[in-house]
Structure 1
Amino acid sequence: MTYCVAIKVDDGLVFASDTRTSAGVDDVRTYNKLHIFETTGERVFAIQSAGNLATTQSVINQIKRDMADPMAPVNLNNVRHMYDAAEYVGNLSVRAQQDSAALGQLRNSTVDYRTTLILGGQILGEEPALYLIYPEGNCIAASQDMPYLQVGESKYGKPILDRIIRSYISLADAARCALVSLDSTMKSNLTVGPPLDLAIILKDGLRVEHKQRLDLDTPYYASLKKAWGEQLERIFREALPKFEWENLGASRQNQNQQLF
């Protein structure tokens, strides 16, 4: 299983992904699900993936081949707009799925070859953008009303995003929220797991400003995970309002103690 989240705020973009691809009792595997392509000062792209690993690898490898080929009619080096980049990646994804499915039919395979992608980044002269690319190749963009996108096992990490993510929050807060979202998912689903990849693209920086891999024993992540868990427990015990019958019971207990 997989969980990836990308966030768009006024100051730029945040990407966070787990790396687990299988989680059997004695077979835990990891694979990079966050891929960066950048031409510093001109354009920068980040791609996150969920779904069939072979399809994803085919897409990523084709992107690299096209970028290295000066004769390639379309690649991430020459697209004019972020939407064009999303269409290009979507077309590569559809082609890779069709090729894999055709080969699978020859082998009587029932494997699901679909993949879902998030493409984000910025091209000089445009605003940063995020696109969710469906297996069918079509896409939707993040917006102020929906400033984050998810792929994979999204339900456990969604509540904190809905409560915190707004376009005006800082990149640092967005990055912390993304990590908490991943931590909440890992708490409830063992098929999502560390190490975690985090990347931040500053608006108009046209490069990855920060990129970090975090494991359970990485000091920052360990501290964040501990603080989040402890503060949730404290708020639950101390900050939530009491039921009326709790207050009534406490009042009666005090009265009884005063009688004696």
Structure 2
Amino acid sequence: MTYCVGMKLSRGLVFMSDTRTNAGVDNISVFKKMFLWEAEGERSITLMTAGNLATTQAVVSLLNERALPADERGALSIMEAPSMFQVAKLVGETLREVIADQSGVAGPQADSPFGASIILGGQIKGGEPRLFLIYPEGNFVEACDDTPFFQIGETKYGKPILVRAYNPEMTFEAAVKLLMVSFDSTLKANLSVGMPLDLHLYRADTLRHGPRRRIESEDPYFSQISSGWGDKLRDAFDALPDYTLE
């Protein structure tokens, strides 16, 4: 299992993913789940994966191969697609292709053991920053004002704070704080999600990668957020009126 969040703000996009992959409680590994492509001044693309590791690695490998110069491959590349919509379409087709190949059936099923889901975001020159959620079947939806963020993987524990505290006008610093609270809640509730965390901030219209960080388990700011959030929750609970049995 994993946990990834992509969030759309008025000032750009925010991405965070964990790195834990497990095949049982005694077989835990660290694998990167965030991948970036860039042609500075022309496009910046970020992709995060959840699901079967063999599937997601095959998808990323194919996307990398197809991003080679035109004389070294035959398919259209995400580095050539004219819009983020077309990039999302290419990624969805690649995901569907990989799942169909691994499962040996004509089309992928939602509950396939080879299933995977993807968050894709970025900006191409001439367009706006865009954020997509891509399903195992290869279809996708785009973030909008009513649904400004996407989660994949173990989503339920970290969602309440996002729903309550998200603001499209918040700063990147506030957004990172919000995501850290969301991830801390998930980490405490589910052992299949684990540190370190990968972070990428994309500033709208820069057309290049923004600040990137790997947040380790001993990171002092994350530790401060984790302990401080727990203390504030207890204080808020104690401040609520007690239930009356009479």
TM-score by length of 2: 0.92
> Offset at 1:170?
1.7
User: Which whole-Å CA distance do the structure 2 matches of 1:116 and 1:23 have between them?
Assistant: 18
Cα 1:16–1:57 change in 2 (3 A) is same
Question: SS of the counterpart of 1:41?
Answer: coil
Give the Cα separation in 1 of the matches to 2:215 and 2:23.
19
Q: Which amino acid aligns with 2:61?
A: N
2:99 paired residue among 91, 97, 108: 97
The structure with the larger Rg is 1
Q: Which residue of 1 aligns with 2:51?
A: 51
Give the aligned partner of residue 178 of structure 1.
179
Aligned to 1:256: none
1:10-65 CA-partner distances (Å, limit 9, x unpaired): 00001111111116443221111111111111101111111111111111011111
Name which of structure 1's ranges 53-62 and 63-72 shifts more when overlaid on structure 2: 63-72
Residue type at the aligned position of 2:3: Y
Q: Secondary structure at the match of 1:68?
A: coil
Write the mapping of 1:53-72 to structure 2, written as runs, cut at 5 A.
Answer: 53-71=53-71, 72=74
Q: Which moved more, 1:64-73 or 1:187-196?
A: 64-73
Query: Which residue of structure 2 lines up, in the alignment, with residue 22 of structure 1?
Result: 22
Q: Separation in 2 of the partners of 1:26 and 1:50?
A: 20
Q: Following superposition of structure 1 onto structure 2, how do residues 1-260 of structure 1 map, counting pairs within 5 Å?
A: 1-22=1-22, 24-71=24-71, 72-102=74-104, 112-237=113-238, 239-243=239-243
Q: Distance in 1 between matches of 2:115 and 2:190?
A: 22
1:228 is matched by which residue type in structure 2?
W
Give per-residue Cα distances to partners, 1:152-172, cap 9 Å, x unaligned: 110101100100112222222
Aligned length: 239
Q: Work out the CA distance in 1 between the residues paired with 2:18 and 2:151.
A: 12
Q: Which has the higher helix share?
A: 1
Could you state the TM-score of these two structures normalised by the residue count of structure 1?
0.87
Q: 5+ unaligned residues in a row in structure 2: which ranges? A: 106-110
- SS in structure 2 at match of 1:93: helix
| Contact 1:147/1:166 (<8 A) preserved | no
Identity value in percent:
41
- TM-superposed CA distance for 1:242, in Å, is 4.2
> Aligned letter for 1:115?
A
Measure how far apart 1:204 and its partner are: 0.8
Q: Residues of 2 paired with 1:224 and 1:37: CA distance?
A: 31
Deviates more, 1:155-164 or 1:21-30: 21-30
Residue 121 of structure 2: SS of its match in structure 1? strand
Greater mean deviation of Cα atoms: 113-122 or 161-170: 161-170
Unpaired stretches in structure 1, ≥5 consecutive residues:
104-109, 249-260
CA contact (8 A) 1:23 1:191 kept: no
- Cα offset, 1:243, TM superposition: 4.4
| Shift in alpha-carbon separation, 1:25–1:223, aligned structure 2, 3 A | same
Task: Give the deviation of 1:66 after TM superposition.
Answer: 0.9
| Displacement of 1:240 | 2.0
Query: Partner of 2:210: helix, strand, or coil?
Result: strand
